[in-house]
Amino acid sequence: MLEWDDLRYFLAAARNGSLSGAARVLGTTQPTMGRRVEAFEARIGAKLFRRTPSGLALTAIGQAILDHVTRMDEAALAVERVATGHDSGLSGNVRLTAPEWYGARVLSPHLGAFCALHPDIMIELVTDARPMSLTQREADIALRLRRFEQDGLVQRKVADMPFGLYAAPSYLDRHGAPDFASGAMGSAFVAMSEALTEATAETAWLDEVAPKARIAFRSNSRDAQAAAAAAGAGLACLARTLGDGWPGLVRLETPTPIPMREVWLGVHADTRTIPRVRALIDFLCDELQQMHQPAGV
């Protein structure tokens, strides 16, 4: 008889393509993952993975059983969602996920009010560059800066997030404000990593108003961008909720408004009626719109 834990370890390894990535998802260690996968292969008498320089690759047998194990996992998660859906108390844990800077800079300062209102509910805020899956119960509620694409989710746009253009006074003393009439020639910008630029609303705006500027610094971290701009590396397009409060940055006038980003809240359809989850959803929907209202123009 196969054990469900063996199948979970196999599925995590197949989905992540590495023992280290699977170990992080399951909350274990890479050596433990390796031993569990090898023991499972020995038990069924077949190799499920090939070790390659880039990670794990499924063998033909591994690929053949993957769909079956995936369906078993989906069924197990559905049972869990149905069972937890009957939980009627305003107590227990709620796992909330959001982009790193958004969770740390926007959500955390406001979640204390929810904790005071509901002392028997424990919020676990998980910030990760990898979007966590609601269908796989990696999180109960997710906040993202774009629409969700997974099936079986309920989502709503909860806010529009305004952006501004920021610089350090030391940068402005050396280079002056950008001359947008010349395409910002001679100006330096702090920007998102190239692999992520398609996902950012300000990228097209920068290409339009500052085609002759140079990129001095790139990062996939908004905090790193703000810190680099505050140190004088260049101009940065940042969410107002981040840039307006960052020490050493001033917001500049722009020739046209920087496009806003949309903030979306997602939850699985089977768990949205759980009282503790519903309470946090209602709180976030009420608070987020107010959080992103810019103070002044």
Q: Are 227 and 238 in contact (CB under 8 A)?
A: no
Q: What is the pLDDT of residue 295?
A: 45
Average pLDDT value for residue range 228-233 = 97
| Reported confidence tier of residue 291, pLDDT bands at 50, 70, 90 | confident
For residue 201, the tally of other CB atoms under 10 A from its CB is: 16
For residues 12 and 137, which has the higher predicted lDDT (pLDDT)? 12
Can you tell me the distance from the alpha carbon of 69 to that of 52, in angstroms, rounded to the nearest whole number?
23
Average pLDDT value for residue range 157-186 = 94
Q: Are 16 and 58 in contact (CB under 8 A)?
A: no
Read off the pLDDT of residues 25-60 as tens digits, 9 standing for 90 and up. Answer: 888 888 988 888 998 888 888 899 998 888 889 999
Q: What is the pLDDT of residue 297?
A: 36
Residue 152 pLDDT > 80: no
Give percent of the chain with pLDDT exceeding 90.
42
C-alpha distances out from residue 157 to 29, 64, 105, 285, Å: 37, 39, 20, 9
Can you tell me the distance from the alpha carbon of 130 to that of 110, in angstroms, rounded to the nearest whole number?
23
Give the burial string for 270-296 (b: 16+ CB within 10 Å, else e).
Answer: bbbebebbbbbbebbeebbeebbeeee
Q: What is the pLDDT of residue 69?
A: 86
Residue 294 pLDDT > 70: no
Q: What is the pLDDT of residue 78?
A: 67
Average pLDDT value for residue range 170-195 = 92
Look at the block and give the residue holding tokens 């197990």: 76
Residue 17 pLDDT > 80: yes
Can you tell me the distance from the alpha carbon of 128 to that of 3, in angstroms, rounded to the nearest whole number?
30
Average pLDDT value over all residues in the chain: 86
Average pLDDT value for residue range 202-214 = 90
